[in-house]
């Protein structure tokens, strides 16, 4: 089916702030649209209907009292289910947290509300954000709103699908190896990973702490910049939060690309499907036509990123997920006899799905005595290698351009039994996670199958503003033949 047209967050918030429409109307309409349409997609695991209506009423009361409710006034936002919401289910797509109601809110959830945004519901995801198709959820897969026989990508597939389906103008996801950008590409929306430390991770359930970062989904680059500007900033509750005050990116998003140096990165294009390669090259030509200085560049070190990532991320995950022990929260499976280790093991065995178990095993192996140097330490040296390669490239270019994902959306079920084939989806997105740099995926035309193609714009640390400028031009010059419906 054709997803309904969505008003942008910028338009919606302006209308609510001006008193032209109430936040309550917007929220009631969004809840009704999800109720009517999400049976086909399963983007949401649960709706926060009562909370959303109460927040909307508070926004409307502020407008009535002549106060500014904030830049996201009345805008519904889809929240990935690894973001803690106080008193409301937060499952991470896992049976081990099936009934968990966190005692606190993630900082981004609080920030969103302070800006007038409305958390509409919690979205489906690969269990503990481990996956690239949202098929690893313990609560059933999410389908791609562009074609329900296809996956939406992952792990933030629920938030991507919610925005692509027109349920909410904005969504929040987390990106450890591409989990915002890859589903954005496959669903035909904008998805962005900020610089590591730019957005607080307090209350984000940890997967791989040196790689995880929260970021926005939107239907337009301007909306993504709006949400990023709201979220960015220092948080004393996150020890990896950057201390500096970020410059807003919204004021320059429409400034164009005149004179900006764009490196078309062959290593983020060449291995992709021919139709994806063609779109990325067209995007590069379009940027050149708009005044950017475009040149090809090779960064062969990116080729080692995937291997390094699939050692580092499972290693950190095996440590982070040790906390699911059946003691303080979540599932507990008691066993006969009075032995805490047996209880831990029975709980984890029953609570974790296959992909989570695989990654815990892989990480435990990579960190174990005798293999630590060969795998984990070596992967960390590759990380240094990739970071140095980025530095070299950015000596000559302001941004890099590549594909987001090697193919358009693939069939549901086609890769779920082949972990290595699934991991290959992340090959173009992983380098920015290893380096902690920002990157954004923008829809640019379609593949041979009529499904959306995402073009990725990568930038050095803290250079979100020029990155959004380039992304905005890519978006404005995208082929107008709309995505398949």
Partner 1 sequence: MAALARLDLTDEEVELFTAQLQTVLDHAADVSSLDLSHLEPSSHPIALRNVLRADEPRPSLDREEVLAAAPSVEDHRFRVPRIGGEAP
Catalytic residue among 22, 133, 159, 179: 179
Stretch that binds partner 1, among 42-50, 132-140, 250-258, 298-306 (CB under 8 A): 298-306
Among residues 12, 16, 409, 471, which one has the least CA distance to residue 182? 409
Active site residue 80: yes
Beta carbon nearer to partner 1, 36 or 340: 340
Among 41, 128, 217, 375, which residue interacts with partner 1 (rule: CB under 8 A)? 375
Active site residue 155: yes
Instruction: Tell me 46's DSSP state.
Output: E
Q: Is residue 377 a contact point for partner 1 (CB under 8 A)? A: yes
Active site residue 414: no
Tokens 């992983």 correspond to: 430
Instruction: Tell me 374's DSSP state.
Output: I
Torsion, CA 156, CA 160, CA 163, CA 164, rounded to 10: -160
Q: Is residue 234 a contact point for partner 1 (CB under 8 A)? A: no
Binding to partner 1, residues 271-290 (CB under 8 A): none
Q: How far apart are CA 446 and CA 410, in angstroms?
A: 14
Stretch that binds partner 1, among 29-37, 134-142, 254-262, 353-361 (CB under 8 A): 353-361
Local structure of 252: helix, strand or coil: helix
Going through 406-462 in order, the beta strands assigned E by DSSP cover 439-446, 452-458
Q: Is residue 194 a contact point for partner 1 (CB under 8 A)? A: no
Among 345, 414, 463, 476, which residue interacts with partner 1 (rule: CB under 8 A)? 345
Among 65, 341, 370, 481, which residue interacts with partner 1 (rule: CB under 8 A)? 341
Among 380, 414, 463, 476, which residue interacts with partner 1 (rule: CB under 8 A)? 380
Stretch that binds partner 1, among 2-10, 124-132, 180-188, 335-343 (CB under 8 A): 335-343
Among 14, 58, 385, 416, which residue interacts with partner 1 (rule: CB under 8 A)? 385
- Cβ-Cβ contacts under 8 Å for 402 (sequence gap 6 or more): 264, 265, 267, 268, 269, 280, 428, 455, 456, 458
- Give the distance between the most distant pair of CA atoms in the chain: 73
Binding to partner 1, residues 398-427 (CB under 8 A): 419-420, 423
Among residues 326, 409, 462, 479, which one has the least CA distance to residue 133? 409
Local structure of 15: helix, strand or coil: helix
Closest approach, Cβ 246 to partner 1, in A, equals 14
Radius of gyration of the chain (CA): 21
Catalytic residue among 80, 122, 150, 193: 80
Among 2, 327, 411, 485, which residue interacts with partner 1 (rule: CB under 8 A)? 327
Fill in the per-residue mask, 436 to 455: x = in contact with partner 1 (CB under 8 A), - = not in contact.
xx------------------
Strand partners of residue 150: 411
Among 122, 348, 415, 469, which residue interacts with partner 1 (rule: CB under 8 A)? 348
Give me 323's structure tokens.
Answer: 């906390």
Residue 270: HSE in the Cβ half-sphere, 13 Å Cα cutoff: 10
Beta carbon nearer to partner 1, 16 or 356: 356
Binding to partner 1, residues 95-134 (CB under 8 A): 100-104
User: Which residues does the annotation mark as catalytic?
Assistant: 80, 155, 179
């Amino acid at each position: 089916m054709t997803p309904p047209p969505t008003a942008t967050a910028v338009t919606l918030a302006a209308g609510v702030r001006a008193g032209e429409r109430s936040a309550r109307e917007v929220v009631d309409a969004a809840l009704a649209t999800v109720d009517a349409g999400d049976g086909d997609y399963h983007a949401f695991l649960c709706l926060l209907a009562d909370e959303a209506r109460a927040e909307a009423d508070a926004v409307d009361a502020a407008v009535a009292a002549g106060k500014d409710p904030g830049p996201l006034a009345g805008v519904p936002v889809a929240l990935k289910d690894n973001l803690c919401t106080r008193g409301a289910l937060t499952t991470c797509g896992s049976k081990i947290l099936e009934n968990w109601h966190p005692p606190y809110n993630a900082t981004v959830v609080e920030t969103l509300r302070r800006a007038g945004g409305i958390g509409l519901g919690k979205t489906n995801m690969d269990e503990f954000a481990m996956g690239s198709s949202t098929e690893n959820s313990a609560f059933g897969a999410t389908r791609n709103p562009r074609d329900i026989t296809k996956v939406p990508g992952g792990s933030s597939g629920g938030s991507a699908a919610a925005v692509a389906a027109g349920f909410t103008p904005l969504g929040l996801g987390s990106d450890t190896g591409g989990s915002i950008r890859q589903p954005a590409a496959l669903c035909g929306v904008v998805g962005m990973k900020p610089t590591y430390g730019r957005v607080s991770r307090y209350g984000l359930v940890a997967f791989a702490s040196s790689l995880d970062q929260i970021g926005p989904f939107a239907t337009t680059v301007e909306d993504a910049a709006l949400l990023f500007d709201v979220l960015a900033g220092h948080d004393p509750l996150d020890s990896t939060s950057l201390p500096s005050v970020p410059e807003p990116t919204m004021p320059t998003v429409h400034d164009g690309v005149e004179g900006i140096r764009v490196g078309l990165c062959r290593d983020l294009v060449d291995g992709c499907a021919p139709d994806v390669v063609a779109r990325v090259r067209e995007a590069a030509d379009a940027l050149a036509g708009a005044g950017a200085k475009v040149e090809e560049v090779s960064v062969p070190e990116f080729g080692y990123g995937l291997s390094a990532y699939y050692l580092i991320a499972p290693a950190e995950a095996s440590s982070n997920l040790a906390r699911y022990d059946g003691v303080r929260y979540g599932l507990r499976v008691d066993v006969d006899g009075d032995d805490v280790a047996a209880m831990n093991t029975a709980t984890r065995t029953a609570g974790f799905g296959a992909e989570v178990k695989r990654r815990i095993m892989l990480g435990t192996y990579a960190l174990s005595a005798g293999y630590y140097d060969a795998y984990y330490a070596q992967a960390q040296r590759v990380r240094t290698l990739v970071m140095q390669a980025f530095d070299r490239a950015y000596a000559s270019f302001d941004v890099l351009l590549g594909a987001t994902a090697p193919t358009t959306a693939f069939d549901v079920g086609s890769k779920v039994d082949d972990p290595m084939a699934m991991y290959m989806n992340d090959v173009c997105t992983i380098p920015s996670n290893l380096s902690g740099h920002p990157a954004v995926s923008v829809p640019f035309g379609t593949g041979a199958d009529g499904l959306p193609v995402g073009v990725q714009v990568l930038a050095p640390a803290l250079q979100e503003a020029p990155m959004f400028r380039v992304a905005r031009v890519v978006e404005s010059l995208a082929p107008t033949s709309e995505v398949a419906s």
